[in-house]
Amino acid sequence: MRKFTSTNAFNEKLINDSCGMGRALNIVGGRWKPAILYKLHNGTMRYGELRKSIEGISERMLVAQLRELEQDQVIERIVYPEVPPRVEYRMTELGKTMGPMLEAMSEWGDIHRANVADKYGNPGDGEK
């Protein structure tokens, strides 16, 4: 849980309030959210499908990030009262409005990769 009185939290709020970019980043940022959003961008998925298709994610992180995205109203959680349980996740209408932004980010990431070696030592793809 966060303390809303720390300087850190205060600054986060300040930026969230004053800057659209800051707010967008608060929602799509984080280690796993890009992957989750990318998957759900292509359609509804069950919890287990997400877990299997996102390499390296732990259950705790998957649940946590799904919950945050749900709170931010960009995805929704649909529970089927079956046993064993079935839970599906999908984009909300508001979530779907992220499309252009997600594509712009994805494209620019690729542009950057094509031009710049990253800090892990992967070379850029070269200029020509």
Q: Which residues bind DNA (CB under 7 A)?
A: 2-3, 6-9, 11, 30-32, 46-48, 51, 56-61, 63-67, 77, 83-87
Closest CA to 75 of 118, 46, 114, 107: 46
25 binds a second copy (CB under 8 A): yes
**Pairing verdict, β 45-46 and 86-91:** antiparallel
> What's the full length of the chain, in residues?
128
Q: Taking the CB of residue 96, how many other CB atoms lie within 10 A of it? A: 12
Q: How many CB atoms lie within 10 A of CB 69?
A: 24
Q: Any idea what DSSP says for residue 97?
A: T
Q: How far is the CB of 110 from a second copy (least distance, A)?
A: 4
Region near a second copy per CB under 8 A, out of 2-10, 45-53, 77-85:
2-10
Interaction site with a second copy (CB under 8 A): 4, 7-8, 10-17, 19-25, 27-29, 31-32, 34-35, 37-38, 55-56, 71-73, 94, 97-98, 100-102, 104-113, 115-116, 118-120, 122
